[in-house]
Structures are given as structure tokens and as C-alpha cells.
Structure 1
Amino acid sequence: MSSPRLTRRAALVTGLATAALPPLAQAQTAGRGARRITVYKTPWCGCCGGWVAHMRDAGWTARVVDLDDLAPIRARHGIPDRLASCHTGVVGRYAIEGHVPASDVERLVREAPTARALTAPGMPAGSPGMEAAGREPYVTLLILADGSTRPFGRHNGA
């Protein structure tokens, strides 16, 4: 049988540890960078909402900005028309063009390559937010600082 003194000590230690959890969680979040994304989309696009939900489900805080024309946003971030999609996210210095999986966005932020953006050109079936369209293999592309691209992620058997 445990003594009341030990029980009080255990309660005190548990209480102190519990009180330290919120600051510890904030410090860990600050250490890996805030998981915040601003998403620019047109007001009439339904699949964009599916992608935003995917990002939120993966733990991202998404601020959504509806615009009639995304061309100025893409131009600002160096995304050529041939690599465009239906929405553009911005995470720190990177643009996220289209239905890029959250895991690729997380890897991009973690690895921090010298690049402009990450894109899933077009609207690939089976990508986050496009699940209802079926399933096709697709590749996410890293848009490098010089405008060239290289494969970044392979999905759905690509």
C-alpha cells in the first residue's frame, strides 16, 4: 500500500508535468516551424476545398483567400502556366501549386531545398481533393530557382 505522502508527491509531479505540456508543445511547434499555409483559390472551385480539408486533417492551419484570378499569385511565385493547377498555397518562401499531398509539403519544409515551388500540375485523379475523379499515377515536381523542374514525389504507383 502506498503512503499518502508518496501519493501527494506523485500528484504534485504529475500536476507540474501537465502544466508544462502546453509550453513544451509550443516550443516544439516553433522549433519545426509553424504549420501554416495561405491558400489562394477561386470561389467556385469545389476540389480546392477538398485539398484544404486534406491539409487541415494533416495538421496544417489554412487561411483561404478567394480570388477571381490566380495568375498574379502564380507570377509572383514563378509558376509557369504549364505547371499551373486550380489553387496556389504559400508556405513560407514556397508556393504549393495544386493538389500536392501534405506529406510532400511537409518534406519540402523539412528539407528546405533551394526552390520556388512544389506542384502537382493539372488536377490528377486520386490526388488530395480529387479522389472522386478516380485514381491515376502522378508526380509532384519541384520548381527550382532557375525555373527548371525535377521530380519530387511519386504517387498512386507513378
Structure 2
Amino acid sequence: MNTRIAALAALFLAAPALAEAPAMTVMPSPGCGCCHAWADLARAEGYDVSIRETDVAALKDDLGITPGHRSCHTALVGGYVLEGHVPFDAVARLLAAQPAIAGLAVPGMPSGSPGMGDDPDARYDVIAFGGTAGAGEVFHEAGR
């Protein structure tokens, strides 16, 4: 994993994640309601969510999230970066598989994604980014 990402993750995750409630830090865009809706859904999924207000544009730059992968919020969990409205089944798969990537992104704000309408039939791709294993490839196809 990128040492820059590991260092930033250490800053935001003060306590080790527990199996029952993995620690997740969500950095929302200022004034964005859907960011908080996604964080609420993460809590409902069993994550121990904390919200950190920060300069999200600078954070995305520091984490190496390219403009084509960006969305409204960024989260850190289990040493990985989540960009945007990543569905929680993809997060669970990521944490279980522990691939050599920096994280997952749902570019933009697709209608029906978690926090954007929560439609289980919504179709959009979850893209792996950073690292060496499968970066730039579709990690998960929501609604398919």
C-alpha cells in the first residue's frame, strides 16, 4: 500500500478496527447531505463512523484520487480509501479480500447508489484504484 495513504489513514484512525464494528472515517464535502446519508447507512451496516471536516480537495490530491474517480466524500476504513457512494457489499468484499489496491471509487454521484436513493436495482460500477492488483478495473458491478 502507498505509504502516503497509510500515513493519512493513521492520522484519521486512532483506534484499531474491531471485527464487529470496523472504524470508518468519513470526510464529507461541506454542506453535502448525501455524504451524511452515506455515513448514516455505514453506521446501519455496523461501521463505527466518525465524521471529520477537512479540505476534501486537498485530501483527494494527497490520497492520489484522480479527477475521473472523484465524488463528493472520501472515507478511510481498514487501511483503504473509499471515494463516493461505494455500496457496502463491495466494502465488505474489499475488507475480506484485502487486495493490493489503494481503494474503491464510485465516480460522480450515481442515482440509486447508497445515500443517493438507495435503489438496489441501480446500475453503476465500483472501480479499484491505486496499488498493483486490478487498479483501474471494475471491482464490483452494482445492480447486476
Match of 1:110 in 2: 96
Q: Which residue does 1:86 correspond to in 2?
A: 72
Structure 2: state its 5+ residue gaps.
1-16
Q: 2, 27, 52: which is aligned to 1:65? A: 52
Partner of 2:34: 47
- 1: CA distance between counterparts of 2:31 and 2:19? 34
**Larger RCO of the pair (alpha carbons < 8 Å, separation 6+):** 2
Give the alignment's Cα RMSD to 1 decimal.
2.5
Name 1:15's counterpart in structure 2.
Answer: none
Report the CA distance between 1:92 and its aligned residue: 2.9
The answer to whether the 8 Å contact 1:98/1:123 transfers is: yes
CA positional deviation for 1:107: 1.0
Distance 2:68 2:20 in 1: 31
- Structure 1 spans left out of the alignment, 5+ residues: 1-29
| Identity score, percent | 36
4+ residue segments displaced more than 6 Å: none
* TM superposition shift of 1:132: 7.2
Aligned: 1:99 with 2:85: yes
Q: SS at the partner of 1:73?
A: helix
CA-CA distance at 1:145 after TM superposition: 1.1
- Bigger radius of gyration, 1 or 2? 1
- Partner Cα separation in structure 1 for residue 110 and residue 64 of structure 2: 21
Structure 2: how far apart are the matches of 1:108 and 1:148?
A: 13
Q: Report the TM-score, using the length of structure 2 for normalisation.
A: 0.78
Show the counterpart of 1:122.
108
Relative to structure 2, which stretch is displaced further, 74-83 or 113-122?
74-83
- Please state whether the residue corresponding to 1:131 is helix, strand or coil: coil
Deviations 1:87-125 (A, max 9, x none): 000113211000001111111111000001101110011
State TM-score, norm by structure 1: 0.72
